[in-house]
Amino acid sequence: MPTNQEQERLLAELKTAILEYAEDQADAVTEQIIEAGIDPLRVMNQTIADAARELGDKFESGEIFLPHLVMAGDVMARVSGRLESALEPGSEGQTGARTVIIGTVQSDIHSIGKDIVAMLLKANGFKIVDLGVDVPSVDFVRRAKEESAHLIALSSLLTTTMPFQREVIEILGEMGERNNYKVLIGGGPVTGGYADEIGSDGYGKDAVEAVEIAKRLSGIDHSASSGGSS
Amino acid sequence: MTPSVQPSFHEILLRSKQGPLLEEKEFDMSLFRKTQELQKKHRIRYDPEQPLDLDGAMADRLYQAGIELYLSQGTYCSTTHRVITVSEQELAAAIADCPESVELGQGEDKVRMVHRDVEGQQEPVVVAGIQTAPFSDEQMMAVIYEGCARDACVDGIWGGILLTIDGRYEVVAGAPSEIYQYRKTVEILRQAVTAAGRPGMITINNAPTCSATIAMFDEEKGLRRSDYMESTGMSEMKVAYDDLNRSAFALAHGVPIHGTHSSVIGGFSGNPEGAAITAVAASLGLVCVHKAVCFRCGTVDARIKSRVTRKQLWVAGTAIQALNRNTRLIVDGTIGDHPAAGPGTKQYLYESAAGHIVSTVMGAHSTEGTRKFVVGNTCNYGTPLESRWMGEVCKASAGMDRRTADRIVRYLLDKYEDHLSEAPEGETYEGLYDLKNNTPLPRYRKLYEEVREELKDQGLPLD
């Protein structure tokens, strides 16, 4: 087992590789971390989580852009996958990885806001199943069941497509599945009041808040509030 | 040698079925790489200290960068997952074929929307009204739109929406209720402009789906061939068949096509320089693919709910200037259409003025109405006075030189740019207007006049 100082150096190198979108470097350091016997859960829950938080801050401040989130998300997904494969048998369930079904609701083709939330969630260690735009309500529910998802994230940018967010929640209820998934909503015309009205579990007024709420709903970060939803 | 011709609409459809198959993510990341390369190659540089590009040299380089981006990137068809590309000769032909003017409206209310030069005297067309906003009921919608239509400085009105039919049935996009509702609201809009004594005035509305948009066209009671059809490009540099269906209808029925697209600062265009290049390139795509005869060249910021940040003013202003210095296209700018602040506040008027001054001075029209940046579905969230402001500012800015505009815009930025994230919400029509005679309450009129005088003192010729 390397010294604490050596462990910290490796973890810092991994974080730097993620923040610089350096896939090869991240792969190499990840192998060194596994060989050194550092607990993969510690790497995922501390190092990768720290990197994700820093990426979110940089995006919010305008220092980096959506493509950088895509690149960082790809690197983190690779690293997380490799670390998961190195976990002791039986500890897979402790990784904290949660599957999110995300999409823009039916008859709405706006994608940028949803894409940003998806990338930030991915950067924060969530497994993302992005259904795209103009997604029929029943498809959210069907894919959530297929993927054993934890959370369904619904984007709507139009006043007349907001009812589809409610429709997804209604379908979950009618199918007896409402308690199996957390539902998070967002989008330009959506408010915390509307989230309460339709029985959503959370509402993000912007991408960064959406991620914080998703983490709270997933039991990853207990410090976040429920956003605009009271 | 046979002269080059632009690809016909049918040829565009063919290319949308036969062009290179590509994952959307690959297209997005390619856009990022190319915009970063092109801004270095053409020395495109955003300087926060200089919100307006004053000499035009960089705008000319931006135009070249936009041409190169469009020729290498094309338009992504999200329906077929294929890339629609055009050759350099076809693009040049499409730009050359585009009309320099288009007549809109009818009779005494007819206006001519022409190519405008940078600092040009040509009168900008102003289509105001609270764009696509929700109204509480048919009566309120009629009253507010009649008020908007009465101002001579406004050439056209955008329609809004009703959230329910007869107060009972919820309106949902893609459902029959959407068709019924949009059809109903455009009838109200036509009645309102007629009641205002301007029956031939331009009336516009655009539904989420093509079918509901088409349903609004009716020479007698709805949208007419003398209005225009919106055909929206998806951000960034993408199109779906639902949009091309609108173009198909408009081409078949002789309706002018107005394209719209917004590049995204912080999106796949990356920084403001990249967003400016994409704004130019996507505008060319609207001409080639959507067959637009006029179009909105705009930008949004992925993080801020306003369209008049310093970065946005530079991106849209420089892109509009690039297009107007290098083509005879008809460009619509409309940077001031979605302020962060709400109606009834000085900040709304400052934001709106900054955007419309930049837009007009750089050679654009303003046709996307007045509406606070959308948050929630508050009904009657606007009044005729914001339409008047939009019209007054746009008409007064025609012919202004860029240095004067730059000075006024800096003054306005000082007033609002530190307050965008916590902008005042303002009030609805009911809080700002006398419902009996459809006129602004004294306090709102006073606020309006104060800001008006303030801008006159700054050099905006409002009389």
Q: What are the residue ranges spanned by the domains of chain A?
A: 4-94, 99-217
**Which residues on B lie below 8 Å from A133 (Cβ)?**
78
Dist CA B198 CA A38 (whole Å):
76
Could you say which of B208, B266, B376 has the minimum Cβ distance to residue A160? Answer: B208
Helix (H, G, I), strand (E, B) or coil at A96: coil
Model confidence, pTM: 0.92
Q: What confidence tens digit (pLDDT) does each residue in B261-280 have?
A: 999 999 999 999 999 999 99
A190: phi then psi, degrees, rounded to nearest 5: -80, 140
What tokens appear for B65 in the block? 């960068």
User: Looking at residue A77, what is its pLDDT?
Assistant: 85
Tell me the per-residue pLDDT of B293-350, one tens digit each, with 9 for 90 and over.
999 999 998 888 888 999 999 999 999 999 999 999 999 987 878 899 999 999 999 9
Pairing of strands B134-135, B161-162: parallel
Query: How many Cβ atoms are within 10 Å of B439's Cβ, its own excluded?
Result: 15
At A223 the pLDDT is 45
> Is the bond preceding residue A170 a cis peptide, omega within 30 degrees?
no
pLDDT of residue A195: 94
**What ipTM does this complex have?**
0.89
| B172 and A CB contact within 8 Å | yes
pLDDT band at residue A96 under the 50/70/90 scheme? low
Q: What is the rounded average pLDDT of the residues B184-200?
A: 96
User: For residue range A19-67, what is the model confidence (pLDDT) as tens digits?
Assistant: 999 999 999 999 999 999 998 888 888 898 889 888 888 988 889 999 9
The string of pLDDT tens digits covering residues A102-116 is 999 998 888 888 988
CATH number of B119-131+228-457: 3.20.20.460
Instruction: State the pLDDT at residue B376.
Output: 75
Closest residue by Cα to residue B316 from B242, B414, B389, B409: B409
- According to CATH, the superfamily of the domain at A99-217 is Cobalamin-binding domain (3.40.50.280)
Q: Which of B78, B178, B267 sits opposite A160 (nearest CB)?
A: B178
- Return the pLDDT at B148: 96
What percent of chain B stands above pLDDT 70?
99
Beta strand ranges found along B412-452 (DSSP E):
433-434, 439-440
**Mind listing the pLDDT tens digit for each residue in B39-48?**
999 999 999 9
The reported pLDDT for the residue numbered A95 is 57
Beta strand extents in A127-217 (DSSP E only): 127-130, 151-155, 182-186, 202-203
Is B375's CB within 8 Å of A191's CB? yes
Q: Within 10 A of A97 (CB to CB), how many other CB atoms are there?
A: 17
Write out the DSSP string of B223-262.
Answer: B-TTS-EEEEPBTTTEE-HHHHHHHHHHHHHTPPEEEEEE
Report CB contact under 8 Å: A62, B266.
Answer: yes
Nearest CA in chain A to B182: A160
pLDDT band for position B241 (cuts 50, 70, 90): very high
Instruction: Give A103 to chain B, closest Cα distance, Å.
Output: 15
CB-side neighbour CA atoms (13 Å) of A175? 17
Residue A44 DSSP one-character state = I
Domain ranges of chain B: 119-131+228-457
Is the per-residue pLDDT at A222 higher than 70? no
Residue B221 reports pLDDT greater than 50: yes
Which pLDDT belongs to residue A18?
Answer: 94
Task: Give per-residue pLDDT as tens, B340-395.
Answer: 999 999 999 999 999 999 999 999 999 988 887 776 788 999 999 999 999 999 99
Residue of B nearest to A206 (CA): B303
User: Which residues of A make CB contacts under 8 Å with B?
Assistant: 59-60, 62, 65-67, 70, 106-109, 111-113, 115-116, 133, 158-164, 188-191, 193-194, 206
Residues 6+ apart with CB under 8 A from A43: A11, A14, A33, A79, A83
DSSP labels, B38-77: HHHHTT----TT-SS--SSHHHHHHHHHHHHHHHHH-EEE
More confident residue, A208 or B317: B317
- The residues, any chain, with a CB within 8 Å of residue B94's CB and separated by 6 or more, are B6, B7, B86, B284, B287, B288
Are residues B271 and A206, on separate chains, in Cβ contact within 8 Å?
no
**Rounded mean pLDDT, B434-455:** 97
Sign of CA dihedral A55, A59, A60, A66: negative
Domain spanning A4-94, CATH architecture: Orthogonal Bundle (1.10)
